[in-house]
Amino acid sequence: MTDRKADPRDPRPLIGEPLSLDLLNTRWAGTPVNDLLGEPDGYGIWLASAGLAGRCEAGEAGLAAVLEAREALAAAVRDLDLHGEAGPAAVAGLNEVLRHGRLRRELGPQGPAEHVEVDRPERLAAWLAVDDFLGLLGQGAHRIRKCAHQACILHFFDTSQNGRRRWCSMAVCGNRAKAARHYEKVKA
């Protein structure tokens, strides 16, 4: 992957999670739900923040592929939350995105190398996001989490040593929960 430095135009409250969860987090709480990919320039902003702007073009076909991948990822994460594993429909959705590419390995002058090949260039970002999700599953599906704040819809990959991270951001959602508990205690 390339360098990941958030695009200054990126309005999302949580940026920098692994690529698959970063794609899921292009939707965040609000009334109505905020959707970065629903804005005309949003796909280009996401590509820049994800470090993919140099590899992927921000066009309509690429956006359609990424939206398909986001829906497949959302279904898989929902299933993980409810059942501890992705259900058949979620698996089919993920595999449909993966069907459009592959990882080719070869031995080159500098040693082993991996190359992603996709059937159409506009499918690259979607394929990379779903491939990243498979990598996260391999590290531990139980570490893919939804923020514990009831109003938050963001997801994160828990890399804490004890595996007990609860909030997308302690400074935002964690603080809100602490303040609500304090308010209830004082009110009682």
pLDDT, one tens digit per residue, over 50-71 is: 999 999 999 999 999 999 999 9
Compute CA distances 131 → 137, 170, 181, 187, whole Å: 10, 28, 39, 48
Is residue 167 scored above 60 in pLDDT? yes
Q: Is residue 174 included in any domain, yes or no? A: no
How do 101-108 and 155-157 pair as beta strands? unpaired
Q: Are 104 and 131 in contact (CB under 8 A)?
A: no
Strands (DSSP E) found in the chain:
27-28, 34-35, 101-108, 111-118, 144-146, 155-157
Does residue 76 sit within a domain?
yes
> For residue 26, what are the domain limits?
19-146+153-159
Query: How many C-beta neighbours within 10 Å does residue 51 have?
Result: 17
Of 69-78, 155-164, 173-182, least confident by mean pLDDT is 173-182
The model's pTM: 0.89
Question: Is 125 a domain residue?
Answer: yes
In a domain, 8, yes or no: no
Does residue 1 form part of some domain? Answer: no
Domain containing 119 — which CATH number? 1.10.3300.10
Number of domains, the chain: 1
**Cβ distance 1 to 51 under 8 Å?**
yes
pLDDT exceeds 50 at position 2: no
pLDDT, averaged across the chain = 91
